[in-house]
């Protein structure tokens, strides 16, 4: 099939490359001329395992092309995916200006029947509005479908190629059947294609992310209670997670969720509920708990060093990205924590395997970067573990002790066993456990 994907960011580039991998003719469109030129030269603008190889292979096989011309992409294609950003507006709602601008350009470029697919995460009613914007500029037949993505950063290729389900929101069979045909090779394992209306599809995406965010905030609340009552959250987590009704995923305590999806989508769902007069009180608290959790580690640091005691101290940092497997710094919990330490006069030397370049935008020279994990430790008063990269899981503790000025670890991701840290002579502070002092 002939497919156009408008927006060559995280969602659009993954979708375009995966569609091309299954033999479709795909054109990825982006208004950023430098990005398009880089893609043509094999330079991928984001870090995602397996994506670079997938893009380059399909580019060489001429199944995948890149262009700045939306008109060219629309005219060449039967299916047009909108995958542009929908950032948070000042009032918490999703900013749909880019989506509607693209819709108008699509309307001006249509040269025959087309199916336009909302791949961006958008609030309820967006498909109908996109249809209106397109209709102002064309007399050709077209349909608008909602097809939300359910990708995990760090595992996006596998998620797209072997989806647990494909959600297609279409208000007629003609459009829905065409999109289902495109996805048929991706669900040969028997996983379902779920057909529904556009509004239901739009809400499904938000409901999924809000529920997962709820599990994380619930886990963090219980972990904080564990610290007060003397329980070990890791034991509690295992007790909960082995209940099949609850499940093991998204029960890990830490310093809060971040990234491009959960914070933005939770806020947008709250805003939608308020607009319809049905406020979601649980989801409001999920967001509030998460904001509190982002300062939890700072509170532990301040308690240990004393108020004003971080001034002049040097902190080593392992991990900056909001999660392992990605260079995405959007709403990463590391940002407010490290900026707070900097504002209090602390010095920071950080290492992240892939997020150095993306983090520079947020820290603007306020932190120093190390070439590897161990060099970040040299002369530091404490180590802060903020992202659970695999390479941090089994470090050389005796070597760490030699490099650190003080043998202190603040673990925001519960990566280490307190008993082992005690044996190695460390002071250890984590989430949901009693400290080792």
Determine if residue 251 is labeled as part of a ligand binding site.
yes
96 known ligand binder: no
> Is residue 404 part of an annotated ligand binding site?
no
How far is the C-alpha of 283 from the C-alpha of 105, rounded, in Å? 36
323 labelled as ligand-binding? yes
Q: Alpha-carbon distance 131 to 380, whole Å?
A: 57
Q: Is 18 a catalytic residue?
A: no
The DSSP secondary structure of 359-406, one letter per residue, reads HHHHHTTSSEE-SSTTGGGTT-SEEEE-S--GGGSS--HHHHHHH-SS
Beta strands in 301-381 (DSSP E): 314-318, 347-351, 368-369
Q: Is 21 annotated as a binding residue?
A: no
The answer to whether the annotation marks 121 as part of a ligand binding site is yes
279 secondary structure, DSSP code: -
Phi first, then psi, for residue 118 (nearest 5°) are: -75, 105
Instruction: Give the pairing type, strands 382-385 and 314-318.
Output: parallel
205 is in an annotated binding site: yes
Q: Is 252 annotated as a binding residue?
A: yes
The reply to whether 47 sits in an annotated binding site is: no
- Report the alpha-carbon distance of residue 388 to residue 241 in Å, rounded: 20
| 155 belongs to an annotated ligand binding site | no
Q: How far apart are CA 246 and CA 251, in angstroms?
A: 9
Q: Is 100 annotated as a binding residue?
A: no
CA dist 266 and 254 (Å) reads: 18
Q: Is 387 annotated as a binding residue?
A: no
Is 268 in a helix, a strand, or coil? helix
| Residues 341/353, Cβ–Cβ less than 8 Å | no
Helix (H) or strand (E) holding 245: none
- Active-site hit among 4, 18, 28, 261: 261
150 is in an annotated binding site: yes
Is 86 known to sit in a ligand binding site?
yes
Residue 399 CB neighbour total at 10 angstroms: 11
How many other β-carbons are positioned within 10 Å of the β-carbon of residue 284? 16
Count CB-CB contacts under 10 A for residue 269. 27
Check whether 254 is labelled as a binding-site residue: yes
Q: Are residues 103 and 82 in contact, defined by beta-carbon separation less than 8 angstroms?
A: yes
CB 48 within 8 A of CB 37: no
Binding residues for NAD(+): 30, 35, 86, 121, 153, 264, 330
Binding residues: 30, 35, 86, 121, 150-153, 205, 250-254, 258, 264, 323, 330
Binding residues for substrate: 150-153, 205, 250-254, 258, 323
Which are the catalytic amino acids? 261
């Amino acid at each position: 099939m002939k497919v156009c994907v408008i927006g060559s960011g995280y969602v659009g580039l993954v979708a375009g490359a995966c569609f091309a991998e299954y033999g479709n003719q795909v054109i990825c469109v982006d208004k950023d001329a430098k990005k398009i030129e880089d893609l043509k030269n094999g330079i991928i603008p984001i870090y995602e395992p397996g994506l670079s190889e997938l893009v380059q292979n399909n580019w060489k096989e001429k199944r995948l092309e890149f262009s700045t011309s939306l008109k060219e992409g629309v005219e060449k294609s039967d299916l047009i995916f909108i995958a542009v950003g929908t950032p948070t507006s000042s009032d918490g709602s999703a900013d749909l200006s880019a989506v509607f601008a693209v819709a108008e350009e699509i309307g001006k470029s249509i040269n025959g029947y087309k199916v336009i697919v909302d791949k961006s995460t958008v609030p309820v009613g967006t498909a109908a509005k996109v249809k209106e914007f397109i209709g102002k500029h064309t007399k050709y037949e077209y349909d608008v479908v909602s097809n939300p993505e359910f990708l995990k950063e760090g595992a996006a290729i596998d998620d797209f190629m072997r989806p647990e389900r494909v959600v297609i929101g279409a208000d007629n069979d003609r459009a829905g059947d065409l999109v289902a045909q495109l996805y048929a090779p991706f669900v040969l394992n028997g996983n379902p294609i779920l057909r529904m209306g556009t509004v239901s599809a739009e809400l499904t995406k938000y409901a999924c992310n809000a529920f997962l965010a709820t599990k994380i905030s619930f886990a963090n609340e219980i972990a904080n209670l564990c610290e007060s009552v003397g329980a070990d959250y890791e034991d509690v987590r295992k007790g909960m997670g082995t209940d099949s009704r609850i499940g093991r995923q998204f029960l890990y305590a830490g310093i809060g969720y971040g990234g491009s999806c959960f914070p933005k989508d939770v806020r947008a769902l709250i805003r939608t509920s308020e607009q319809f007069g049905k406020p979601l009180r649980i989801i409001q608290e999920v967001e509030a708990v998460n904001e509190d959790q982002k300062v939890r580690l700072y509170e532990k640091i301040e308690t240990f060093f004393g108020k004003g005691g971080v001034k002049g101290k040097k902190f080593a940092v392992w991990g900056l990205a909001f999660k392992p497997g990605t260079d995405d710094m959007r709403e990463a919990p590391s940002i407010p924590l490290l900026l707070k330490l900097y504002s209090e006069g602390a010095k920071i030397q950080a290492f992240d395997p892939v997020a150095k370049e993306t983090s520079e935008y947020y820290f603007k020279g306020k932190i120093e970067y190390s070439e590897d994990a161990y060099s970040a430790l040299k002369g530091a008063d404490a180590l802060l573990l903020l992202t659970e990269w695999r390479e941090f899981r089994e470090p050389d503790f005796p070597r760490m002790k030699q490099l650190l000025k003080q043998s202190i670890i603040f673990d925001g991701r519960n990566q280490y066993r307190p008993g082992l840290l005690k044996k190695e002579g460390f002071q250890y502070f984590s989430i949901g456990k009693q400290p080792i002092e």
